[in-house]
């Protein structure tokens, strides 16, 4: 007996050691796949060369094996596929969907301070006059490529047709404006998360994206990119985020206790699984 295909993934970024929150996310995806005899893939999202480190990639493999996760090989590591993401970027560029953004973080912070109701990540820019842009490019000023929501809206004839299924909620209308004109290639040339993510979800045949509720907004932006690139849309499932003893969500930057730490102080994988609800 076999049901419809079910392929999900766990896609950590190797910017630090994994903590309980990652274990919870990985085990949630694993359990969902196991329940329907589906497949779980691991994807290493290491495009941010300034923050990702090879030793954290090794640690991800070790820590996930320790908690009892099993995943298919080969593992896709994004830094091995830069030309694939460059091609996706070029496809969008050729449709006139991207514009250069020369602004620095402090320029943006200044603008946001002047418009406090616009969240920092919902930047909406205007293209520069051609002559000014050419001058800055010629002067070697670095720039990011942003997706123009206005251009995307024109190309698609509006966003009304953009819907996706969120488990537990049903059909949801995508609101890409929540994320604003997102950066798709950074000033240092690195392709940004959303573009690599939709490209890989499609290439890997992901049918179900299962990830934390911190990425709810990402689905709205990613649905738009799928439409612009002609890619299929998976089903989305968002799981709750584990909180630390202070009630705040666990995060690498707050130095949440790592799986390494737990193991070093003698916790067994079974104890950890039990503690976060996977017996
Ligand atoms: N690499 C992302 C992160 O570590 C996860 C992306 C995703 O699951 O779509 O937060």
Tell me what the pLDDT averaged over the chain comes to: 93
Domain ranges of the chain: 1-80+243-279, 81-203+214-232
| Measured CA angle at 53 (ends 100, 84), to 5 deg | 45
Find the farthest-apart pair of alpha carbons in the chain and give their distance in angstroms, rounded: 64
Nearest Cα to 76, choosing from 194, 202, 189? Answer: 202
Give the residue whose CA is nearest to atom 6 of ligand 1: 11
Q: What is the mean pLDDT of residues 187-216?
A: 96
Q: pLDDT tens-digit profile of 91-143?
A: 999 999 999 999 987 887 777 677 666 665 678 887 888 999 999 999 999 99
Q: pLDDT tens-digit profile of 202-259?
A: 999 999 999 999 999 999 999 999 999 999 999 999 999 988 777 787 776 666 799 9
Asked whether the whole model's pTM tops 0.95, one would answer no
Whether 1-80+243-279 shares its CATH topology with 81-203+214-232 is answered yes
Residue ranges of E strands in 174-271: 183-185, 208-212, 235-239
SS3 (DSSP) at 211: strand
- If you write DSSP's letter for every residue of 65-115 in order, what string do you get? HHTT----SSPEEGGGGHHHHHHHHHHHHHTT-EEEE---HHHHHHHHHHS
- Tell me the C-alpha to C-alpha distance, in Å, between residue 22 and each of 34, 92, 94, 132, 272: 18, 32, 37, 45, 12
Give the residue whose CA is nearest to atom 7 of ligand 1: 11
Lowest mean pLDDT among 18-32, 51-65, 109-123, 166-180: 109-123
Does any ligand 1 atom lie closer than 6 A to the CB of residue 258? no
The phi and psi torsions of 109 (rounded to 5 degrees) equal -60, -40
CATH architecture classification, 81-203+214-232:
3-Layer(aba) Sandwich (3.40)
Q: Name the fold adopted by 1-80+243-279.
A: Rossmann fold (3.40.50)
Atom of ligand 1 nearest to the CA of 201: 9
Report residue 69's pLDDT band, with 50, 70 and 90 as the boundaries. very high
């Amino acid at each position: 007996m076999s049901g419809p295909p079910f392929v999900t993934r766990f896609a950590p970024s190797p910017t630090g050691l994994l903590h309980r929150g990652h274990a919870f996310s990985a085990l949630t995806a694993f359990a969902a796949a196991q329940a329907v005899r589906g497949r779980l893939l691991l994807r290493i999202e290491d495009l941010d060369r300034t923050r990702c480190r090879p030793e954290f990639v090794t640690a991800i493999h070790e820590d996930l094996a320790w908690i009892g996760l099993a995943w298919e090989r080969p593992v896709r590591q994004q830094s091995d596929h830069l030309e694939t993401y460059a091609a996706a970027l070029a496809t969008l560029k050729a449709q006139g969907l991207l514009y250069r953004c020369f602004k620095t973080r402090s320029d943006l912070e200044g603008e946001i301070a002047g418009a406090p109701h616009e969240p920092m990540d919902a930047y909406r820019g205007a293209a520069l006059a051609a002559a000014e842009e050419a001058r800055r490019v010629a002067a070697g000023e670095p720039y990011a490529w942003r997706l123009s929501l206005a251009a995307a809206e024109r190309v698609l004839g509006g966003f009304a047709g953009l819907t996706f299924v969120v488990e537990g909620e049903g059909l949801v209308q995508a609101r890409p404006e929540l994320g604003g004109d997102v950066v798709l290639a950074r000033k240092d040339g690195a392709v940004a998360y959303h573009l690599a993510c939709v490209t890989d979800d499609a290439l890997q045949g992901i049918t179900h994206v299962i990830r934390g509720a911190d990425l709810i907004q990402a689905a709205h932006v990613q649905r738009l990119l799928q439409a612009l690139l002609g890619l299929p849309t998976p089903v989305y499932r968002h799981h709750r985020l584990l909180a630390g003893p202070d009630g705040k969500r666990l995060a690498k930057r707050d130095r949440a206790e790592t799986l390494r730490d737990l193991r070093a102080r003698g916790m067994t994988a079974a104890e950890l699984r039990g503690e976060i609800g996977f017996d």
